[in-house]
Protein backbone atom coordinates (compact mmCIF):
# COMPACT_ATOMS: atom_id res chain seq x y z
CA UNK A 1 0.00 0.00 0.00
CA UNK A 2 1.35 3.39 -0.97
CA UNK A 3 1.19 5.88 1.86
CA UNK A 4 0.69 9.62 1.61
CA UNK A 5 3.83 11.61 2.30
CA UNK A 6 3.67 14.09 5.15
CA UNK A 7 5.84 16.56 3.28
CA UNK A 8 6.47 16.96 -0.41
CA UNK A 9 9.26 18.75 -2.21
CA UNK A 10 8.22 20.04 -5.61
CA UNK A 11 10.71 19.48 -8.47
CA UNK A 12 12.53 22.50 -9.84
CA UNK A 13 11.80 21.62 -13.49
CA UNK A 14 8.93 19.66 -15.01
CA UNK A 15 8.19 18.77 -18.62
CA UNK A 16 5.04 20.00 -20.31
CA UNK A 17 3.64 16.51 -20.93
CA UNK A 18 3.93 15.69 -17.21
CA UNK A 19 1.65 18.56 -16.17
CA UNK A 20 -1.85 17.56 -15.04
CA UNK A 21 -4.45 18.30 -17.70
CA UNK A 22 -8.23 18.27 -17.94
CA UNK A 23 -10.34 16.66 -20.67
CA UNK A 24 -12.52 19.78 -20.57
CA UNK A 25 -16.20 20.24 -19.90
CA UNK A 26 -18.50 19.50 -22.87
CA UNK A 27 -20.82 22.36 -21.96
CA UNK A 28 -18.08 25.00 -21.88
CA UNK A 29 -16.45 23.57 -24.99
CA UNK A 30 -19.71 23.96 -26.91
CA UNK A 31 -20.25 27.46 -25.50
CA UNK A 32 -16.72 28.47 -26.48
CA UNK A 33 -17.31 27.13 -29.98
CA UNK A 34 -20.41 29.33 -30.31
CA UNK A 35 -18.59 32.42 -29.02
CA UNK A 36 -15.69 31.77 -31.38
CA UNK A 37 -17.93 31.25 -34.42
CA UNK A 38 -19.84 34.45 -33.69
CA UNK A 39 -16.56 36.39 -33.15
CA UNK A 40 -17.44 37.46 -29.63
CA UNK A 41 -13.92 38.57 -28.72
CA UNK A 42 -13.58 40.82 -31.76
CA UNK A 43 -16.91 42.44 -30.91
CA UNK A 44 -16.13 43.24 -27.27
CA UNK A 45 -12.60 44.39 -28.11
CA UNK A 46 -13.97 46.89 -30.63
CA UNK A 47 -16.46 48.18 -28.03
CA UNK A 48 -13.83 48.46 -25.28
CA UNK A 49 -10.87 49.82 -27.27
CA UNK A 50 -11.56 53.44 -26.32
CA UNK A 51 -11.21 52.62 -22.60
CA UNK A 52 -7.61 51.36 -22.89
CA UNK A 53 -4.37 53.27 -23.43
CA UNK A 54 -2.65 52.57 -26.75
CA UNK A 55 1.01 53.02 -25.79
CA UNK A 56 1.56 53.00 -22.04
CA UNK A 57 0.40 51.00 -19.05
CA UNK A 58 0.79 47.40 -17.99
CA UNK A 59 -0.69 44.56 -20.11
CA UNK A 60 -4.42 44.46 -19.49
CA UNK A 61 -6.89 41.63 -19.07
CA UNK A 62 -8.66 40.92 -22.39
CA UNK A 63 -12.28 42.13 -22.33
CA UNK A 64 -13.40 38.69 -23.51
CA UNK A 65 -11.88 37.11 -20.39
CA UNK A 66 -13.67 39.64 -18.16
CA UNK A 67 -17.09 38.92 -19.65
CA UNK A 68 -16.48 35.16 -19.66
CA UNK A 69 -15.72 35.26 -15.94
CA UNK A 70 -19.00 37.06 -15.26
CA UNK A 71 -20.81 34.43 -17.35
CA UNK A 72 -19.12 31.74 -15.24
CA UNK A 73 -20.66 33.44 -12.21
CA UNK A 74 -24.09 32.67 -13.62
CA UNK A 75 -23.40 29.17 -14.91
CA UNK A 76 -21.59 28.09 -11.73
CA UNK A 77 -24.12 29.88 -9.47
CA UNK A 78 -21.52 32.04 -7.73
CA UNK A 79 -22.71 35.34 -6.28
CA UNK A 80 -19.44 37.11 -5.43
CA UNK A 81 -16.53 38.07 -7.68
CA UNK A 82 -14.09 36.66 -5.14
CA UNK A 83 -15.80 33.29 -5.53
CA UNK A 84 -15.67 33.55 -9.32
CA UNK A 85 -11.92 34.18 -9.29
CA UNK A 86 -11.27 31.32 -6.88
CA UNK A 87 -13.38 28.91 -8.96
CA UNK A 88 -11.61 29.88 -12.19
CA UNK A 89 -8.15 29.44 -10.68
CA UNK A 90 -9.12 26.06 -9.22
CA UNK A 91 -10.66 24.50 -12.36
CA UNK A 92 -8.60 23.45 -15.38
CA UNK A 93 -11.70 23.25 -17.58
CA UNK A 94 -12.69 26.83 -16.71
CA UNK A 95 -9.12 28.00 -17.38
CA UNK A 96 -9.47 26.41 -20.80
CA UNK A 97 -12.76 28.25 -21.34
CA UNK A 98 -11.03 31.52 -20.44
CA UNK A 99 -8.16 30.72 -22.81
CA UNK A 100 -5.49 30.89 -20.09
CA UNK A 101 -2.33 28.81 -20.32
CA UNK A 102 -0.74 26.89 -17.47
CA UNK A 103 1.83 29.65 -17.04
CA UNK A 104 -0.83 32.40 -16.76
CA UNK A 105 -2.58 33.50 -13.60
CA UNK A 106 -6.32 34.03 -13.47
CA UNK A 107 -7.43 37.64 -12.90
CA UNK A 108 -7.88 38.77 -9.32
CA UNK A 109 -11.24 39.96 -8.00
CA UNK A 110 -9.87 43.50 -7.64
CA UNK A 111 -9.07 43.48 -11.36
CA UNK A 112 -12.66 42.48 -12.18
CA UNK A 113 -13.95 45.29 -9.98
CA UNK A 114 -11.63 47.80 -11.62
CA UNK A 115 -12.61 46.74 -15.14
CA UNK A 116 -16.32 46.90 -14.28
CA UNK A 117 -15.84 50.43 -12.92
CA UNK A 118 -13.97 51.63 -16.00
CA UNK A 119 -16.20 50.08 -18.66
CA UNK A 120 -19.41 52.03 -19.12
CA UNK A 121 -22.94 50.73 -18.81
CA UNK A 122 -23.35 51.14 -22.59
CA UNK A 123 -20.63 48.51 -23.19
CA UNK A 124 -22.45 45.97 -21.00
CA UNK A 125 -25.72 46.79 -22.74
CA UNK A 126 -23.99 46.22 -26.09
CA UNK A 127 -22.86 42.76 -24.95
CA UNK A 128 -26.42 42.00 -23.82
CA UNK A 129 -27.70 43.11 -27.24
CA UNK A 130 -25.05 40.99 -28.98
CA UNK A 131 -26.39 37.89 -27.24
CA UNK A 132 -29.92 38.81 -28.33
CA UNK A 133 -28.66 39.12 -31.89
CA UNK A 134 -27.15 35.62 -31.79
CA UNK A 135 -30.44 34.18 -30.49
CA UNK A 136 -32.47 36.06 -33.10
CA UNK A 137 -30.21 34.89 -35.94
CA UNK A 138 -30.91 31.30 -34.90
CA UNK A 139 -34.67 31.80 -34.77
CA UNK A 140 -35.01 31.76 -30.97
CA UNK A 141 -36.60 35.22 -30.67
CA UNK A 142 -39.94 36.21 -32.19
CA UNK A 143 -40.73 39.36 -30.21
CA UNK A 144 -44.44 39.64 -30.90
CA UNK A 145 -45.63 39.30 -27.27
CA UNK A 146 -43.76 40.74 -24.28
CA UNK A 147 -44.39 39.63 -20.72
CA UNK A 148 -43.36 42.08 -18.00
CA UNK A 149 -42.75 41.26 -14.36
CA UNK A 150 -40.72 42.64 -11.46
CA UNK A 151 -39.08 41.38 -8.28
CA UNK A 152 -36.99 42.75 -5.42
CA UNK A 153 -33.24 42.46 -4.83
CA UNK A 154 -31.90 42.83 -1.31
CA UNK A 155 -29.41 45.69 -1.29
CA UNK A 156 -25.93 45.69 0.17
CA UNK A 157 -27.00 48.27 2.76
CA UNK A 158 -28.25 48.05 6.35
CA UNK A 159 -31.31 49.71 7.83
CA UNK A 160 -29.28 50.70 10.88
CA UNK A 161 -27.14 52.98 8.70
CA UNK A 162 -29.95 55.18 7.36
CA UNK A 163 -29.86 58.92 8.01
CA UNK A 164 -32.33 61.74 7.57
CA UNK A 165 -32.21 63.38 4.16
CA UNK A 166 -32.55 66.91 5.55
CA UNK A 167 -30.17 66.88 8.54
CA UNK A 168 -28.03 63.73 8.10
CA UNK A 169 -29.00 62.60 11.61
CA UNK A 170 -28.79 58.87 12.28
CA UNK A 171 -31.87 56.83 13.11
CA UNK A 172 -30.72 56.03 16.63
CA UNK A 173 -30.00 59.68 17.43
CA UNK A 174 -33.42 60.61 16.08
CA UNK A 175 -35.08 58.09 18.42
CA UNK A 176 -33.11 59.35 21.39
CA UNK A 177 -34.33 62.87 20.73
CA UNK A 178 -37.92 61.60 20.64
CA UNK A 179 -37.34 59.75 23.92
CA UNK A 180 -36.03 62.89 25.61
CA UNK A 181 -39.17 64.76 24.54
CA UNK A 182 -41.18 62.01 26.27
CA UNK A 183 -39.18 62.45 29.48
CA UNK A 184 -36.68 59.59 29.07
CA UNK A 185 -33.21 61.09 29.47
CA UNK A 186 -31.09 57.97 28.92
CA UNK A 187 -33.28 55.42 27.08
CA UNK A 188 -32.20 51.79 26.81
CA UNK A 189 -32.24 49.79 23.60
CA UNK A 190 -35.51 48.10 24.59
CA UNK A 191 -37.15 51.47 25.32
CA UNK A 192 -36.07 52.80 21.93
CA UNK A 193 -37.53 49.76 20.19
CA UNK A 194 -40.80 50.15 22.08
CA UNK A 195 -40.96 53.84 21.22
CA UNK A 196 -40.21 53.17 17.55
CA UNK A 197 -42.80 50.43 17.31
CA UNK A 198 -45.65 52.83 18.09
CA UNK A 199 -44.68 55.44 15.48
CA UNK A 200 -46.74 55.46 12.23
CA UNK A 201 -45.02 55.71 8.81
CA UNK A 202 -41.57 55.50 10.33
CA UNK A 203 -39.83 54.11 7.22
CA UNK A 204 -40.56 56.81 4.67
CA UNK A 205 -38.10 56.93 1.77
CA UNK A 206 -38.80 60.66 1.46
CA UNK A 207 -37.25 61.23 4.87
CA UNK A 208 -34.56 58.54 5.14
CA UNK A 209 -31.69 57.40 2.93
CA UNK A 210 -28.72 55.08 3.25
CA UNK A 211 -25.52 57.12 2.66
CA UNK A 212 -23.61 54.04 1.45
CA UNK A 213 -26.15 53.23 -1.29
CA UNK A 214 -28.48 56.16 -2.03
CA UNK A 215 -30.25 54.19 -4.78
CA UNK A 216 -31.53 51.55 -2.34
CA UNK A 217 -34.93 52.15 -0.76
CA UNK A 218 -36.75 50.82 2.29
CA UNK A 219 -39.01 48.00 1.18
CA UNK A 220 -41.09 45.27 2.80
CA UNK A 221 -39.95 42.01 1.23
CA UNK A 222 -42.12 39.04 0.31
CA UNK A 223 -40.72 37.14 3.29
CA UNK A 224 -42.29 39.73 5.61
CA UNK A 225 -39.10 41.48 6.70
CA UNK A 226 -38.12 45.06 5.92
CA UNK A 227 -34.82 45.70 4.12
CA UNK A 228 -33.07 48.15 1.85
CA UNK A 229 -33.89 46.86 -1.62
CA UNK A 230 -33.78 47.44 -5.36
CA UNK A 231 -36.45 46.50 -7.88
CA UNK A 232 -35.51 44.53 -10.99
CA UNK A 233 -37.95 44.40 -13.91
CA UNK A 234 -37.62 42.45 -17.14
CA UNK A 235 -39.48 41.98 -20.39
CA UNK A 236 -39.61 38.41 -21.72
CA UNK A 237 -40.33 37.18 -25.23
CA UNK A 238 -43.44 35.05 -24.66
CA UNK A 239 -43.94 34.22 -28.34
CA UNK A 240 -40.44 32.75 -28.72
CA UNK A 241 -38.28 30.61 -26.44
CA UNK A 242 -38.57 32.84 -23.37
CA UNK A 243 -35.49 35.04 -23.87
CA UNK A 244 -35.22 38.17 -21.74
CA UNK A 245 -35.43 41.18 -24.07
CA UNK A 246 -34.72 43.99 -21.59
CA UNK A 247 -33.78 44.52 -17.94
CA UNK A 248 -34.18 47.67 -15.85
CA UNK A 249 -33.36 48.52 -12.25
CA UNK A 250 -35.33 50.86 -9.97
CA UNK A 251 -35.72 51.79 -6.35
CA UNK A 252 -37.33 49.09 -4.24
CA UNK A 253 -40.51 51.05 -3.48
CA UNK A 254 -41.22 52.20 -7.03
CA UNK A 255 -44.62 50.99 -8.20
CA UNK A 256 -45.12 48.66 -11.12
CA UNK A 257 -47.17 51.17 -13.05
CA UNK A 258 -44.33 53.73 -12.74
CA UNK A 259 -41.53 51.42 -13.89
CA UNK A 260 -43.39 49.78 -16.79
CA UNK A 261 -42.81 52.56 -19.41
CA UNK A 262 -39.02 52.45 -19.02
CA UNK A 263 -38.91 48.66 -19.37
CA UNK A 264 -41.11 48.69 -22.47
CA UNK A 265 -39.09 51.52 -24.01
CA UNK A 266 -35.86 49.56 -23.52
CA UNK A 267 -37.45 46.42 -24.95
CA UNK A 268 -38.67 48.32 -28.01
CA UNK A 269 -35.18 49.75 -28.52
CA UNK A 270 -33.59 46.29 -28.41
CA UNK A 271 -36.19 44.83 -30.76
CA UNK A 272 -35.67 47.71 -33.18
CA UNK A 273 -31.92 47.00 -33.25
CA UNK A 274 -32.67 43.36 -34.04
CA UNK A 275 -35.05 44.40 -36.81
CA UNK A 276 -32.37 46.66 -38.32
CA UNK A 277 -29.83 43.81 -38.27
CA UNK A 278 -29.70 42.19 -41.71
CA UNK A 279 -28.78 38.79 -40.27
CA UNK A 280 -31.87 38.42 -38.10
CA UNK A 281 -34.43 40.93 -39.37
CA UNK A 282 -36.44 38.20 -41.11
CA UNK A 283 -36.73 36.24 -37.85
CA UNK A 284 -38.33 39.10 -35.89
CA UNK A 285 -42.10 39.53 -36.06
CA UNK A 286 -43.21 42.53 -38.09
CA UNK A 287 -45.44 43.64 -35.17
CA UNK A 288 -42.77 42.99 -32.54
CA UNK A 289 -43.35 44.18 -29.00
CA UNK A 290 -46.90 45.44 -29.49
CA UNK A 291 -48.54 42.94 -27.11
CA UNK A 292 -47.95 43.30 -23.34
CA UNK A 293 -48.82 40.68 -20.71
CA UNK A 294 -48.60 41.54 -17.01
CA UNK A 295 -50.14 40.75 -13.63
CA UNK A 296 -52.59 42.72 -11.48
CA UNK A 297 -49.95 45.03 -10.10
CA UNK A 298 -49.69 46.78 -13.48
CA UNK A 299 -53.43 47.43 -13.85
CA UNK A 300 -54.46 51.08 -13.58
CA UNK A 301 -56.46 53.57 -15.62
CA UNK A 302 -53.43 55.67 -16.54
CA UNK A 303 -51.40 52.64 -17.57
CA UNK A 304 -54.11 51.22 -19.83
CA UNK A 305 -54.74 54.60 -21.45
CA UNK A 306 -51.02 55.15 -22.03
CA UNK A 307 -50.63 51.69 -23.57
CA UNK A 308 -53.62 52.29 -25.82
CA UNK A 309 -52.20 55.63 -26.99
CA UNK A 310 -48.88 53.93 -27.78
CA UNK A 311 -50.78 51.29 -29.81
CA UNK A 312 -50.06 48.40 -27.44
CA UNK A 313 -52.50 45.51 -27.03
CA UNK A 314 -52.59 44.89 -23.30
CA UNK A 315 -53.34 41.58 -21.56
CA UNK A 316 -53.13 42.77 -17.95
CA UNK A 317 -54.98 40.82 -15.25
CA UNK A 318 -57.68 42.94 -13.63
CA UNK A 319 -58.09 42.95 -9.83
CA UNK A 320 -61.49 42.76 -8.20
CA UNK A 321 -62.53 46.38 -7.59
CA UNK A 322 -66.31 45.98 -7.55
CA UNK A 323 -68.58 48.44 -9.31
CA UNK A 324 -66.82 51.45 -10.80
CA UNK A 325 -68.02 54.91 -11.79
CA UNK A 326 -66.90 56.18 -15.19
CA UNK A 327 -68.30 59.71 -15.19
CA UNK A 328 -66.05 61.96 -17.28
CA UNK A 329 -63.65 59.03 -17.83
CA UNK A 330 -64.62 57.78 -21.26
CA UNK A 331 -61.02 57.09 -22.35
CA UNK A 332 -60.23 55.14 -19.16
CA UNK A 333 -63.45 53.16 -19.53
CA UNK A 334 -62.79 52.26 -23.15
CA UNK A 335 -59.21 51.15 -22.40
CA UNK A 336 -60.28 49.12 -19.36
CA UNK A 337 -63.13 47.38 -21.18
CA UNK A 338 -60.91 46.59 -24.19
CA UNK A 339 -58.30 45.03 -21.91
CA UNK A 340 -61.01 43.08 -20.06
CA UNK A 341 -62.37 41.75 -23.34
CA UNK A 342 -58.92 40.57 -24.43
CA UNK A 343 -58.04 38.76 -21.18
CA UNK A 344 -61.37 36.93 -21.23
CA UNK A 345 -60.76 35.60 -24.74
CA UNK A 346 -59.11 32.29 -25.51
CA UNK A 347 -55.79 33.90 -26.47
CA UNK A 348 -55.79 36.07 -23.36
CA UNK A 349 -56.42 33.12 -21.07
CA UNK A 350 -53.67 31.16 -22.77
CA UNK A 351 -51.17 34.00 -22.37
CA UNK A 352 -52.03 34.54 -18.71
CA UNK A 353 -51.58 30.81 -18.02
CA UNK A 354 -48.12 30.89 -19.61
CA UNK A 355 -47.17 34.04 -17.71
CA UNK A 356 -46.19 32.18 -14.56
CA UNK A 357 -43.94 29.79 -16.48
CA UNK A 358 -42.19 32.24 -18.77
CA UNK A 359 -41.91 35.24 -16.42
CA UNK A 360 -41.16 33.60 -13.08
CA UNK A 361 -38.72 31.00 -14.43
CA UNK A 362 -36.01 33.52 -15.43
CA UNK A 363 -36.11 35.00 -11.93
CA UNK A 364 -35.62 31.54 -10.46
CA UNK A 365 -32.66 30.91 -12.78
CA UNK A 366 -30.59 34.06 -12.44
CA UNK A 367 -31.73 35.24 -8.99
CA UNK A 368 -32.40 32.20 -6.80
CA UNK A 369 -30.10 29.68 -8.48
CA UNK A 370 -27.80 32.26 -10.08
CA UNK A 371 -26.95 34.01 -6.82
CA UNK A 372 -28.20 37.53 -7.58
CA UNK A 373 -31.11 37.74 -5.13
CA UNK A 374 -28.85 39.72 -2.79
CA UNK A 375 -26.49 42.18 -4.41
CA UNK A 376 -22.88 42.64 -3.32
CA UNK A 377 -22.53 45.87 -5.31
CA UNK A 378 -23.94 49.33 -4.75
CA UNK A 379 -25.57 52.00 -6.93
CA UNK A 380 -27.81 51.18 -9.86
CA UNK A 381 -25.34 51.60 -12.72
CA UNK A 382 -22.79 49.39 -11.01
CA UNK A 383 -25.34 46.69 -10.16
CA UNK A 384 -26.88 46.80 -13.62
CA UNK A 385 -23.52 46.09 -15.28
CA UNK A 386 -23.24 42.77 -13.46
CA UNK A 387 -26.97 42.08 -13.75
CA UNK A 388 -27.03 42.54 -17.54
CA UNK A 389 -24.18 40.06 -18.00
CA UNK A 390 -25.94 37.65 -15.65
CA UNK A 391 -29.14 37.79 -17.71
CA UNK A 392 -27.06 37.46 -20.89
CA UNK A 393 -25.85 34.15 -19.43
CA UNK A 394 -29.48 33.07 -19.02
CA UNK A 395 -30.14 33.91 -22.68
CA UNK A 396 -27.03 31.95 -23.70
CA UNK A 397 -28.48 29.05 -21.71
CA UNK A 398 -31.49 29.12 -24.05
CA UNK A 399 -29.08 28.88 -26.97
CA UNK A 400 -27.24 25.97 -25.32
CA UNK A 401 -30.51 24.16 -24.65
CA UNK A 402 -31.30 24.43 -28.34
CA UNK A 403 -27.80 23.16 -29.26
CA UNK A 404 -27.10 20.35 -26.74
CA UNK A 405 -30.37 20.03 -24.84
CA UNK A 406 -29.14 21.49 -21.54
CA UNK A 407 -28.86 25.10 -20.38
CA UNK A 408 -26.31 24.89 -17.55
CA UNK A 409 -23.24 22.75 -16.73
CA UNK A 410 -24.95 21.36 -13.64
CA UNK A 411 -27.97 20.27 -15.66
CA UNK A 412 -25.61 18.58 -18.14
CA UNK A 413 -23.81 16.79 -15.28
CA UNK A 414 -27.12 15.57 -13.81
CA UNK A 415 -28.05 13.99 -17.14
CA UNK A 416 -24.66 12.30 -17.32
CA UNK A 417 -25.04 10.97 -13.77
CA UNK A 418 -28.57 9.72 -14.50
CA UNK A 419 -27.32 7.95 -17.64
CA UNK A 420 -24.52 6.24 -15.71
CA UNK A 421 -26.96 5.20 -12.98
CA UNK A 422 -29.37 3.76 -15.57
CA UNK A 423 -26.59 1.75 -17.25
CA UNK A 424 -25.41 0.48 -13.86
CA UNK A 425 -28.95 -0.55 -12.98
CA UNK A 426 -29.33 -2.49 -16.25
CA UNK A 427 -26.01 -4.27 -15.72
CA UNK A 428 -26.93 -5.08 -12.11
CA UNK A 429 -30.30 -6.48 -13.18
CA UNK A 430 -28.69 -8.70 -15.84
CA UNK A 431 -26.15 -10.00 -13.32
CA UNK A 432 -28.91 -10.76 -10.78
CA UNK A 433 -30.98 -12.63 -13.37
CA UNK A 434 -27.94 -14.64 -14.44
CA UNK A 435 -27.11 -15.48 -10.82
CA UNK A 436 -30.67 -16.54 -10.04
CA UNK A 437 -30.79 -18.75 -13.10
CA UNK A 438 -27.62 -20.67 -12.28
CA UNK A 439 -28.01 -20.76 -8.51
CA UNK A 440 -28.48 -24.15 -6.87
CA UNK A 441 -30.83 -22.73 -4.24
CA UNK A 442 -33.67 -20.67 -5.59
CA UNK A 443 -35.56 -19.23 -2.61
CA UNK A 444 -38.82 -17.43 -3.14
CA UNK A 445 -38.95 -13.95 -1.66
CA UNK A 446 -40.66 -10.64 -2.14
CA UNK A 447 -38.06 -8.03 -3.01
CA UNK A 448 -38.33 -4.66 -1.27
CA UNK A 449 -38.32 -1.68 -3.62
CA UNK A 450 -35.91 0.05 -1.24
CA UNK A 451 -33.14 -2.54 -1.61
CA UNK A 452 -31.38 -3.83 -4.65
CA UNK A 453 -32.02 -7.29 -6.08
CA UNK A 454 -28.39 -8.24 -5.46
CA UNK A 455 -28.67 -7.49 -1.71
CA UNK A 456 -31.86 -9.56 -1.39
CA UNK A 457 -30.39 -12.45 -3.32
CA UNK A 458 -27.29 -12.61 -1.13
CA UNK A 459 -29.34 -12.45 2.03
CA UNK A 460 -31.86 -15.03 0.87
CA UNK A 461 -29.24 -17.73 0.27
CA UNK A 462 -29.31 -18.41 4.00
CA UNK A 463 -32.81 -17.35 5.00
CA UNK A 464 -35.93 -16.30 3.18
CA UNK A 465 -36.80 -12.68 3.83
CA UNK A 466 -40.38 -11.51 3.58
CA UNK A 467 -41.04 -7.78 3.38
Summarize the confidence of residues 46-58 as an average pLDDT: 84
pLDDT (0 to 100) of residue 443: 52
pLDDT (0 to 100) of residue 456: 43
Q: Is the pLDDT of residue 200 over 90?
A: no
CB 208, CB 137: distance < 8 Å = no
- Rounded to an integer, what is the distance from CA 9 to the centroid of its chain? 44
Q: Is the pLDDT of residue 96 over 80?
A: yes
Q: Is the pLDDT of residue 460 over 60?
A: no
Best-predicted range by mean pLDDT (6-15, 346-355, 414-423): 346-355
- For residue 249, give the nearest of 352, 381, 375, 355 by alpha carbon: 381
- The three-point CA angle 354-358-363 to 5° equals 140
Query: Which pLDDT band holds residue 337 (cuts at 50, 70, 90)?
Result: very high
Query: Which pLDDT band holds residue 437 (cuts at 50, 70, 90)?
Result: low
pLDDT (0 to 100) of residue 32: 92
Please return the burial class of 211, using the count of CB atoms within 10 Å of its CB with bins 0-12, 13-18 and 19+. exposed
- The three-point CA angle 282-284-288 to 5° equals 140
Q: Is the pLDDT of residue 446 over 80?
A: no
Summarize the confidence of residues 447-455 as an average pLDDT: 45
pLDDT (0 to 100) of residue 453: 43
* Spatial distance between the Cα atoms of 174 and 316, rounded to a whole number of angstroms: 43
* Spatial distance between the Cα atoms of 357 and 244, rounded to a whole number of angstroms: 13
Query: Which pLDDT band holds residue 384 (cuts at 50, 70, 90)?
Result: very high
pLDDT (0 to 100) of residue 178: 81
- The three-point CA angle 442-443-446 to 5° equals 130
pLDDT (0 to 100) of residue 418: 58
- Tally of helices (H runs) and strands (E runs) in the chain: 16, 8
pLDDT (0 to 100) of residue 405: 84
Q: Is the pLDDT of residue 457 over 50?
A: no
For 227-242, what is each residue's pLDDT tens digit? 899 999 999 999 888 9
Summarize the confidence of residues 329-351 as an average pLDDT: 92
Summarize the confidence of residues 393-412 as an average pLDDT: 86
* Spatial distance between the Cα atoms of 267 and 289, rounded to a whole number of angstroms: 7
C-alpha gyration radius of the chain: 29
Q: Is the pLDDT of residue 84 over 70?
A: yes
Summarize the confidence of residues 398-427 as an average pLDDT: 75
Give the strand pairing for 313-316 and 291-294.
parallel
Positive or negative, the CA dihedral 51, 55, 58, 60 is positive
Structure-derived torsion over alpha carbons of residues 34, 40, 41, 44, reported in degrees to the nearest 10: -160
CB 124, CB 385: distance < 8 Å = yes
Higher pLDDT, 94 or 406: 94
- Percentage, residues of the chain above pLDDT 70: 88
Q: Is the pLDDT of residue 18 over 70?
A: no
pLDDT (0 to 100) of residue 44: 94
Query: Which pLDDT band holds residue 382 (cuts at 50, 70, 90)?
Result: very high
CB 306, CB 162: distance < 8 Å = no
Give the strand pairing for 163-164 and 244-251.
unpaired
For 247-273, what is each residue's pLDDT tens digit? 999 998 888 999 999 999 999 999 999
* Spatial distance between the Cα atoms of 133 and 245, rounded to a whole number of angstroms: 11
Mean per-residue pLDDT over the chain, rounded: 84
Amino acid sequence: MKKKKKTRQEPLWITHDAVASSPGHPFYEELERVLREEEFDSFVESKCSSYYAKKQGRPSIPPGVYFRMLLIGYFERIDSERGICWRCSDSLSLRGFLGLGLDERTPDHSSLSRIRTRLSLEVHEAVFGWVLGVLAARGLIDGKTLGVDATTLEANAALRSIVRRDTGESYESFLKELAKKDGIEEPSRAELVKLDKKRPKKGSNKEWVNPNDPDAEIMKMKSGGTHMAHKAEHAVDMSGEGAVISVTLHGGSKGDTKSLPETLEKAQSNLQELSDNTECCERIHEDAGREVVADKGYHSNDTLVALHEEEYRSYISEPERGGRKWKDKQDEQAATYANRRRIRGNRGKRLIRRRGELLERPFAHYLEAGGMRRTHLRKHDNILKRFLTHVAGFNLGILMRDAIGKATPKEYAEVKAALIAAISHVISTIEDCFALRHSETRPTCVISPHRSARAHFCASRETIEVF
